[in-house]
Each structure stands twice: as structure tokens, then as C-alpha cells.
Amino acid sequence: MNKRINNRGFSLIEVLVTLVLLTIGMLALVAMQGRGIQFTSDSVARNNAIMLATELLETMRANPGGRDDYLIEKLQTDGECSGEAVEVSDVAEQLACWSEKARMLMPGANGDGTEPIAVRNNFYACRSVQAGACVADDGSTIEVQIAWRSNGERCGNGTDPFICTLRLRGEL
């Protein structure tokens, strides 16, 4: 009465199934971590854009006599900030410092290639009656647009959907 048990190797199959399930779980965790990092960097870029737009509007408010000199069509590439205190009336130096800070903080705005140029061309500060439309009249509403290159998420439907923009409007 010698019975043979036919469940040899069953433990090995259990171990292999467990290994496959653990591997799938670990890959899912790595993917979630990668997406979390991507969303964090996008959030940092948005916060920097808000800070830069607010800073430019407040700089214009501090010098009401020269506010038209702060209006820009694109982000400057020339000029460096001296690092010293800047006079309120020195608009060129203030814009150079602000532009240098914007190029350093906003992803994709620094460099000489076609991609950084496309990002810098989406910066502006202008008089505006309605959102997204610059006008040449003497209104008191100023619109500042800041741009940056996204880390893989589409931002808009323009010529380059990976260039994100933030618009801030304020009364002077």
C-alpha cells in the first residue's frame, strides 16, 4: 500500500506565481513614483511662473512713471543682473534681472536652440482689455504671460502643445 503523491513541484509553481505578482507590483510602484516626480516638477514650474508674473506687476506698480518701459513682447536674452541693489527708476537693469531670473527658473527658457527660443517667444507683458489680447491703448490693465516647457504632459493646442503658459492680469 504504497501510494505515490503527484504534487511534486507544486511549491515551486506557488513561488513563481508570487514572484510574478511581486514584480508587477514593484513596477507599478516605480511608475507611480515617476508620475509623482513629473507632477511635482510641473507644480514647481507653475509656482515659479506665478511668482515671476507677480514680481513683474509689483515692479511696475513701484515705478508708475515708467510702467510703459516694462512692457515686453518676449523674454530678453541679453543683459545680466549686476547682483547689486537696483534703483527703482532703472527699468533696463530691473528687466535684465527679472529676465535672468525667468531664464533660470522656467524649464526650457534658457539656451540657444529652437526650443528655448519658442518658450521665450511666449513671454510677454502688455496692456490688455481682455485676456489673451494685447492692445496699444492707455488702459490700466496689464497682462503678464509666463511660459515653460512641460515634462511630457500636453498643455495646449498651439503650435507646440508642450509649452505651458500662465497669464496674470492686474490693474495698475
Q: Classify residue 96: in a domain, yes or no.
A: yes
Task: Check: CB of residue 168 under 8 Å from CB of residue 57.
Answer: yes
Q: Which pLDDT value is given to residue 95?
A: 92
Q: Does 1 reside within a domain?
A: no
Report the half-sphere exposure of 103 (CA within 13 A, side-chain side): 23
Is the pLDDT score of 36 beyond 90? no
Q: Mean pLDDT score of the chain, rounded to an integer? A: 87
Is the predicted pLDDT of residue 4 greater than 80, yes or no? no
- List Cβ neighbours of 150 (8 Å cut-off, separation of 6 or more): 42, 107, 162, 163, 164
3 within a domain of the structure (yes/no): no
User: CB burial class (10 A; 0-12, 13-18, 19+) of residue 155?
Assistant: middle
Q: For residue 104, what is its C-alpha cell?
A: 533660470
How many CB atoms are located within 10 Å of the residue 130 CB? Answer: 9
- Look at residue 2 and tell me if it is in a domain: no
Query: Within a domain: residue 76?
Result: yes
**Domain membership flag for residue 5:** no
Task: State which residues form the domain around 166.
Answer: 10-171
Query: Does 101 score more than 70 pLDDT?
Result: yes
Q: Write down the pLDDT at residue 129.
A: 84
pLDDT above 90: residue 37 = no
In a domain, 18, yes or no: yes
Confirm whether 4 is domain-assigned: no
Place of cell 536652440: 113
The yes-or-no verdict on residue 116 having pLDDT over 70 is yes
Tell me the pLDDT band of 5, cut-offs 50, 70 and 90: low
Answer whether residue 42 shows pLDDT above 90: no
Instruction: Quote the number of domains for the chain.
Output: 1
Residue 84 reports pLDDT greater than 80: no
Q: Considering only residues 83 and 54, tell me which one the structure prediction assigns the higher pLDDT.
A: 54
- Average pLDDT (81-91) is 79
| Pick from 2-11, 40-49, 104-113, 131-140: least confident | 2-11
